[in-house]
Each structure stands twice: as C-alpha cells, then as structure tokens.
Structure 1
Amino acid sequence: MLTPEKTALVLLAAGRSERFADGDKLTEDYLGQPLAFHVVTALEKVPFLARIAIVWDTVLDFSARGFQVVENPDPALGQARSVRYGVEAAEAAGAAAVLIALADMPRVTAAHCYRLFDASDNGATLVASSDGVQPMPPALIGRDHFAALRGLDGDAGARTLILRGHHVITRPEELVDIDTREDLAALRAREAAAAIRAARRRSG
C-alpha cells in the first residue's frame, strides 16, 4: 500500500478562472480564508513527502503554507501542462506516487484522502474520487504512470487515465468544485443553512 510519506501532494492552482466572470476565484473569501486554502488546511497534517503547488499569476502565498511553488507560464495550454509540471517536481523529490488535488475544491477532507491510500497497492496504483457518477480528483497515482502523466495534453488533465482506475465514492458535497460565482454563492448558501440548522438543534 502507498503511504503519504512516499507521496507528493500536487495541488493544481493555475487555472485562469475564465468562467468566474472576473477576478481570481481562488482568492475569493470562503468561511474566512481564501477559497484555495481550504484544501491546504484540510491536508496540512497529512505527512506528505512533498507539497507542490502549480500556480499562475497569483497573490496567494503557498510557500508560506509549506509548498514548493512551481509556476505554469502558460495555463492556456490546459490542465495537463500543470499536471506535467507537478509530476516532474514529484519525481525530483523522489516520490513513489502523486496525490493530485484541485485548489477549487474546498470541501475535500483528509479522511477521504486516507481512504484513497487505503485503496492503493503499489506503483501501478490508479485511485480516484467519485461522487457515484464520475471519477474526479483528488486522485492517487503511482509512479508507474508518471510517464503517461507527463505525456498528457489539453484540458482533460489526468481524466482519461483515472477512468481506468479504482474509484472511491464519497458524498457529492465533499467533491464540489467552484467554477462560477453562482457555484460559490450556492456553497455559501448551503453553509449558512447548515449553520442555522445546527443553531436550532443546540437551542432546542
């Protein structure tokens, strides 16, 4: 079984927020901190071999959160280019696997990521998350697939690869990703409603 100590966390944070209308979605406030830092906080106690953030033109200081920061100079070439940079940095660090996560998925938990490790085997590991419909990040990928990851092209990222792997199902709300302002508004509304319900239970 793979372990975090042999794995590099690769956080993809180089998107251009094209569907977000204006501004950088990763810097938007969500529950008191930038959207991108929620997954950073959720996974900060997982003992990864290395933490690598692939960024583009951001004011967010990932290095202060323990990440090696790698600039993607041309995110227009698609997410696959960010994956390639992440895998190259992971190989340089001596990683046996990468855990690929997205900075615009603020509800991911460490508990779920440990379930990905529980479902792993060896260097041939291909384990992705699933909402019960389709596989998606976070995804744990062993080093046997590093060459394939480096050869990806376009905006599909590792999607075509993880379709062939094992899928660990979790609650859809844990895997929500934020593409538009409407997505963020809906997430904030759900959090507010949950807080109201919790307050009513405490007072009742």
Structure 2
Amino acid sequence: MIVPENTVLVLLAAGRSERFGNVGSKLEEEFLGRPLGYHVAVALEAVPFMARVAIVDGGRLDYTRYGFTHVHNDDPARGMSQSVRLGVTETMRLGAAAVVIALADMPRVTATHIYHLFDAATGEDSVVASSDGKDTKPPVLFGRAQFEALLTLEGDAGARDMVKRGRHVVTNPAELIDVDTREELEQLRELVHAPEALTRAGARRLG
C-alpha cells in the first residue's frame, strides 16, 4: 500500500524561466503575499511525507524552512528530466515506496488533491497523474517499479508517455494552473483577486 509515510515529495524548483522574461527566477515573484514558488510547499506542509526534496538551481528561495532538503541541479538546460532524475535518485537512496513529483510553479495545488492521488494508487507499479479533464499534468505519483524508467528520461518531455498510460485523477482546472509567462501570472492574480494585481505595470494603484 502506498501512503504518504513511505513516499518522498520531490518539488521541481530549478529552471531558466525563459518564457517569463528576464527577471531571474519567476518563482521569486510575489503571489498572494509570498513568493510564487513557496505556495505548493506551504499547501502540502501537513501531508506526512517520509521526506521532502527540492530540486533547485541556485535561486534565493529557501525550501528548508518547509522541511525540504535541497538537491542542486547544476545543468537545468538539460530540461525537466534532469531534475526528475535527481529527485528520483534521492528517493531511491531513501528507500521510498513511491515519489510524488510536483512543480513549484503550480501555486494552487491542494493537499486534498494529493490525497486523491494516493487513493488512486494500486501498488508499486502505479503511475497516477493529475488531469484538468482534458490534459494530464503534474503532480504525478510514481510507484517504485517506475523509478528505473524515470532515470532514463531525456529533455523536457519527461515522463509524458508514462503518464498517458497511467491513471488520471481529475480536479478543478484552476487547481492545475502552471505559470510559464508573466501574462499567465497576471491572469492568475486577477482570477484570485491577489493584491499584487494592483501593482503591475500600468495598473491603477490605490491610495
């Protein structure tokens, strides 16, 4: 049986933010009063994972405050699969039965949805992905029988084919919004009435 207590949470927080613009790391942008990249860590803080691992590339965010160990990705240009391999390698070292891979640029993911992934897992060969009703997305749970395959991934496509063949847990599309561009961040701020929406360039300021 796969439960949080024998599962490692791997948070992918390394990347060049190329589509976002020349701002350093998009994860450091403010959203609802804290950096964008912290929201998933906070939302899943009460889920009793056996360990938490953040794959980072030298940004200023410190995930250790939320119980994470940092693993540094020295070559994020090799794509997301490089971060996945680093996270799975650490998961295997810890002897976990499963790994949940989440993205730090998906700030609306909830603990309830993560528990639904566990509910859909059937054993060590499990692949359970999130879905907005049309497309499969992270977070994704992989049982230990999938670890070796994850270590062979290349590029940004990552585990796409594995995920398509797995089980899919549908949730509200708003929960699975990922932020790749500045426009997407502004749209998300407006969707949730974030105070930062009032401080964007050209916006009307109060006071």
The answer to whether TM tops 0.5 is yes
Task: Give 5+ residue unaligned stretches, structure 2.
Answer: 195-207
1: distance between equivalents of 2:59 and 2:181?
18
1: distance between equivalents of 2:41 and 2:64?
11
Q: Does 1:163 align with 2:180?
A: no
Instruction: Count residues in correspondence.
Output: 193
**Is 9-18 or 152-161 further displaced after alignment?**
152-161
Q: What secondary structure does 1:36 align onto?
A: helix
Shift of the alpha carbon at 1:15? 1.3
1: distance between equivalents of 2:85 and 2:161?
15
1: distance between equivalents of 2:160 and 2:115?
21
Q: Give the equivalent residue in structure 1 for 2:84.
A: 83
Q: What secondary structure does 1:129 align onto?
A: strand
Q: Residues 22-65 of structure 1: CA distance to partner in whole angstroms, max 9, x if unpaired?
A: 21110000000000110000000000011000011210011222
1: distance between equivalents of 2:107 and 2:159?
20
Q: Residues 99-143 of structure 1: CA distance to partner in whole angstroms, max 9, x if unpaired?
A: 000000000000000000000011011100000111110000000
Letter in 2 for 1:143: R
Q: Percent identity?
A: 58
2: distance between equivalents of 1:67 and 1:47?
12
Q: Give the equivalent residue in structure 2 for 1:197.
A: none
1: distance between equivalents of 2:148 and 2:107?
29
Runs of 4+ that moved beyond 3 A: none
Q: What secondary structure does 2:193 align onto?
A: helix
Q: Give the equivalent residue in structure 1 for 2:13.
A: 13
Q: What secondary structure does 1:69 align onto?
A: strand
Letter in 2 for 1:155: D
Q: Give the equivalent residue in structure 2 for 1:200.
A: none
Q: Residues 170-189 of structure 1: CA distance to partner in whole angstroms, max 9, x if unpaired?
A: 01000000000000000001
Q: Residues 73-92 of structure 1: CA distance to partner in whole angstroms, max 9, x if unpaired?
A: 00000100100000000111
1: distance between equivalents of 2:160 and 2:16?
19
2: distance between equivalents of 1:191 and 1:154?
33
